[in-house]
Amino acid sequence: MRVAACLSSLLLACAPAAGAATPSSYYPQKTGLRWSYSSGETQEIGTPAVYKGVRVIPVTHQYGSTVYTQDLLEYRADGSVWLRGVNAGGRVNWYTPPLNVYPPGPLTPGQTWSSASGALKSSSRVTGVEPLRIGKTSYNTLVIRTVLTSGGRQSIQLTYFVPTVGVVRYQTADGSQIDLVK
């Protein structure tokens, strides 16, 4: 389930950017962009690089000053986002074929997408729009339900995001919630 956890945390990182509407800006890819969550995790978009002949944008996942994983994302010309690999402890697990994290934006209620790489399968659906209050801030969120299957085990996650803000809440299969703090 470690790979599923990496893909789950990737969903946090791939939220729509503020004010975004065009394919090249709907999902964030600006070097230095950071998110901090109530779990203590910070995610940061790194400098684009070429790995195995593919231009990828790394998204680092860390707690405090310790980096745990780095997702290698490919942002395609059509606006879709693909997980090409995960770097954990200096070892890169490269996905062939890559996993489709997000289709071209904008996302709409009822929209579905899926992909598979080896034993890992991901299936997502935008289930609707839902009001959400975190602290003193109210949001009108799009809710994405993702089913991850790895080694015969399934995990279901909900991601709540606002196109002008990003992911504001992530809910795990056990009902735990992780909220955006800044």
pTM: 0.84
Q: Into how many domains does the chain fold?
A: 1
Q: Check residue 164 and give its pLDDT.
A: 64
pLDDT tens digit sequence for 18-47: 333 344 567 878 899 898 999 999 999 999
pLDDT tens digit sequence for 78-99: 989 999 999 999 999 999 999 9
Q: How far apart are CA 4 and CA 182, in angstroms?
A: 25
Q: Check residue 64 and give its pLDDT.
A: 92
Kindly compute the dihedral angle of the four CA atoms of residues 6, 7, 10, 15, in this order, to the nearest 10 degrees: -160
pLDDT tens digit sequence for 134-164: 989 999 999 999 999 998 899 999 999 777 6
As given in the structure block, the two tokens for residue 148 are 């991850």
Q: How far apart are CA 181 and CA 37, in angstroms?
A: 5
Give the structural domain span for 98.
2-179
Q: Which helix (H) or strand (E) holds 132?
A: strand 120-134
Closest CA to 28 of 52, 51, 46: 46
